[in-house]
């Protein structure tokens, strides 16, 4: 895996130094502050906030402040989504005011609630309008601006190379490409070779994304795409250490903080749960933590009884949830290996 070793080297993004080239993807409802802190602590080179709707941020809607606030990490990267240039510019200024080091523009989200509002990957259907948003954000802030996109809207319009080239001309410092079209959502296999056409179209760094969860897959996506870095998303469900593990393997070192022993895993999951309750408050935190607890159970305690699983995922009493988590994970559950977690 000769290609893999390149992932251990630093990367410059518009003057911002990134420690390695294995990134945690922004995921709505997932990559909040507790998750990002864990991923970075395990060695991920760069972590990105959840997508923030620029219109809601500009209007001061509740909850947006938690998504953009600085988490204390060396590089604070905020992703914005939207359709209106004035809102995107104002959202970027607000994020920069919260000490964002990099602003990312979402032009890749395939969710209907996003594309239905003509944001996310719907912007790839109108590159002139997409460029007006990029220009508005670049003009509003002095920090580097990046763009995350897909290959195109569908197979008849694979225009990612054109969007990337125009984005670079507008002042964007890096582009990330998910190797699927919007109409594919997450079906089939990401086309890593198609990302190479974007790499050939620009001189700024290109990040390859889609279906990576192991060192072997990271090496292959680099080889096939020619990309400068890799971004990993869904493979982190129940395993915030995946990006850091791959970066550590690339560098020939041990990834920090992975909970290998049963008691360590129990402590890890409980700590994540309690941090979410602290961030959101008990009522909201209970609900938002359940998907993470479900993923931890799926990966590391798949033989948990239906009764225990229900108790963990439906209880409104944090003390009961913590007690059940300790019973499930400390009684012998083991974290999956990096290879089997992919």
What is the DSSP code (8-state) at residue 23? E
User: What is the rounded distance in angstroms from the CA atom of residue 337 to the CA atom of residue 342?
Assistant: 9
- H helices, E strands: number in the chain: 15, 10
**Does the annotation count 183 as an active-site position?**
no
Q: Which residue of the set 64, 109, 183, 326 is catalytic?
A: 109
> Would you report the helix, strand and coil content of the chain in percent, each value rounded to 5?
50, 15, 35
User: What is the rounded distance in angstroms from the CA atom of residue 256 to the CA atom of residue 239?
Assistant: 13
What would the two tokens of residue 191 be?
Answer: 């086309």
Three-state DSSP class for 191? coil
Burial class (CB in 10 A: 0-12, 13-18, 19+), 63: exposed
User: What is the rounded distance in angstroms from the CA atom of residue 199 to the CA atom of residue 318?
Assistant: 48
What would the two tokens of residue 281 be?
Answer: 């408050």
Catalytic residues: 109
């Amino acid at each position: 895996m000769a290609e893999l070793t390149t992932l251990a080297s630093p990367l410059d993004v518009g003057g911002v130094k990134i420690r390695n080239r294995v990134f945690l993807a922004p995921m709505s409802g997932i990559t909040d502050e507790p998750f990002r802190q864990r991923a970075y602590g395990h060695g991920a080179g760069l972590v990105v906030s959840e997508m923030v709707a620029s219109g809601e941020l500009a209007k001061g809607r509740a909850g947006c402040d938690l998504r953009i606030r600085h988490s204390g990490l060396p590089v604070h990267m905020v992703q914005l989504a939207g359709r209106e240039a004035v809102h995107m510019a104002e959202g970027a200024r607000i994020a920069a005011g919260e000490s964002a080091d990099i602003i990312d523009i979402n032009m890749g989200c395939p969710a209907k609630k996003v594309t239905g509002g003509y944001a996310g990957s719907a912007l790839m259907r109108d590159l002139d309008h997409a460029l007006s948003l990029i220009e508005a954000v670049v003009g509003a802030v002095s920090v580097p601006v990046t763009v995350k996109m897909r290959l195109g809207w569908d197979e008849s319009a694979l225009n990612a190379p054109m969007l990337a080239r125009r984005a670079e001309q507008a002042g964007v410092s890096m582009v990330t490409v998910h190797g699927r079209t919007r109409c594919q959502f997450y079906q089939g296999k990401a086309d890593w070779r198609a990302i190479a056409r974007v790499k050939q179209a620009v001189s700024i760094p290109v990040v390859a994304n889609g279906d990576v969860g192991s060192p072997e897959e990271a090496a292959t996506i680099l080889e096939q795409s020619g990309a400068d870095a890799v971004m990993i998303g869904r493979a982190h469900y129940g395993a915030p250490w995946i990006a850091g593990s791959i970066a550590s393997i690339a560098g020939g070192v041990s990834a920090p903080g992975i909970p290998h022993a049963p008691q360590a895993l129990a402590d890890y999951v409980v700590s994540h749960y309690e941090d979410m309750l602290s961030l959101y408050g008990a009522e909201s935190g209970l609900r938002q933590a359940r998907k993470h607890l479900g993923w931890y159970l799926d990966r590391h305690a798949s033989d948990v009884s239906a009764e225990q699983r229900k108790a963990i995922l439906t209880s409104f009493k944090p003390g009961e949830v913590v007690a059940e988590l300790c019973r499930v994970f400390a009684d012998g559950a083991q974290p999956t290996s990096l290879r089997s977690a992919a």
